[in-house]
Amino acid sequence: MRLWNKISRWMLGCYDALQKKYLRMVVLAVYTNPEDPQTISECYQFKFKYTNNGPLMDFISKNQSNESSMLSTDTKKASILLIRKIYILMQNLGPLPNDVCLTMKLFYYDEVTPPDYQPPGFKDGDCEGVIFEGEPMYLNVGEVSTPFHIFKVKVTTERERMENIDSTILSPKQIKTPFQKILRDKDVED
């Protein structure tokens, strides 16, 4: 199946789970070995909460406030600076291999989701977590606070891809080595 078709089917499945208010988290992962999709090179997580006004993507951990006094002009400036930092980081990270694959895993709110529910384009999974290929690095790239939410950019990638990173791009406090296994734990802080 072509990648675009696969992603389109995944998006339709996510939409189905969002409409039914079952979807808790989407994990999009990059891997290189088609025989071992649980061993990944990069990972992106998107968490969802539901309100009377519809689903919300959760950009912050449960222990932090959504309040902010930042003006819209300051928010715009901070967002532009964060985008520039991401751009510089992407130019300095080593390249991913040419033959990468994508996988998407969905996690649900167990208390409201029927046990046999699977959205269109998905099948029942047997994986509780994923393991990073090589030695992972956890990067706190930056954050932008707005009156409505805090948007944080965090990247987990292989340490080998960090070889060309200039120390002026990320300070030492922004770089951590995470646990080798990413757990499915509902209470893990962002």
pTM above 0.85, yes or no: no
In a domain, 45, yes or no: yes
Identify the pLDDT of residue 141.
74
In a domain, 10, yes or no: yes
In a domain, 129, yes or no: yes
Output the domain CATH number for residue 81.
3.30.900.10
Identify the pLDDT of residue 80.
80
Ordered mean pLDDT values, 10 residues apiece, the chain (190 residues): 80 89 85 87 76 58 39 70 76 76 89 93 76 78 64 70 61 46 43
In a domain, 187, yes or no: no
Identify the pLDDT of residue 49.
75
Identify the pLDDT of residue 119.
94
SS3 track for 132-156: ECCCEEEEEEEEEECCCCEEEEEEE
Question: Residue 44: which domain range?
Answer: 3-182
Structural domain count, the chain: 1
Identify the pLDDT of residue 111.
94
* Range 96-100, long-range pairs (CB < 8 A, 24+ positions): 96/30, 96/41, 96/42, 96/161, 97/32, 97/41, 99/32, 100/30, 100/31, 100/32, 100/41
